[in-house]
Amino acid sequence: MPRFGPHPARRPAVVAGASSGIGAATAIELAGRGFPVALGARRVDKCEEIIEQIRARDGEAVALYLDVTDPESVKGFVHRATELLGDIELLVSGAGDTDFGRLDAISTEVFESQLQIHLIGANRLATAVLPGMVERQRGDLIFVGSDVALRARPHMGAYGAAKAALVAMVSTLQMELEGTGVRASIVHPGPTKTGMGWSLPPESIGPMLAEWAKWGQARHDYFLRAADLARAIAFVAETPRGGFITSLEVQPEAPLASAPAERKQLKYPEQP
């Protein structure tokens, strides 16, 4: 007899921060794999547009308002998602934004806002879904972290501090949930091409990129796509019970190096 029962055939999922970027791509990916998905974000109109894509491919999804900085909004979101889709089997906590800036130049209020979104908001979401998961003895919590939590990067001190604290929270959850059947994982994106933060003016981004290069953190200019992270998150979610992914880091592959000079001189026969 197996140590654990298989995942149920129906696994309702909630995705926080689903109006764009990694969250939107994750909602689309999960729905394509058969997960009923509740998309949560402040921009519900954007979520509705994504739902049209999902339903066009015969997926099941709903769009709900969610502000992770508001405790009542989080509770209402999880309650409504459960009413519409059923008991929540999977949480993907990916709501967030970032404010670039040196720590000596940004305000404490900006610093605190990053903690509220990336750490406190993630905790609110986990707290809202955990009781039911523990009672059913199964469920997955997947948190979107950042490689900045693993290797500090100039001009991202507030964001990095929040994500580093998230790592500590997830690591503790993994210990405390052991034996409950509930799994907690964190996925760390490397540089990813999304709208988060990149709308800043060049005069803000330029100095930041220069300091990244100074510290060896801008090896090349390739970025991950949101869909790359969505596939990684789906992989974690679909890992068979009995094992789980504690931490997964995804980095963009560098562009292919130019062929050596001697190879460039080779003459290849033309194809018919």
The residues that are catalytic are 159
The count of other CB atoms within 10 Å of the CB of residue 98 is: 21
CB within 8 Å of 215: residues ≥ 6 apart:
153, 154
**Residue 40, H or E segment:** strand 37-41
Total residue count of the chain as it appears in this document: 272
Two structure tokens written together for 191:
């540089």
- The closest alpha carbon to 95, from 60, 142, 150, 131, belongs to 142
- The closest alpha carbon to 90, from 120, 119, 130, belongs to 130
Q: Taking a C-beta distance cutoff of 8 angstroms, is the pair 89, 137 a contact?
A: no
- The closest alpha carbon to 225, from 22, 54, 28, belongs to 22
Two structure tokens written together for 81:
């998602």
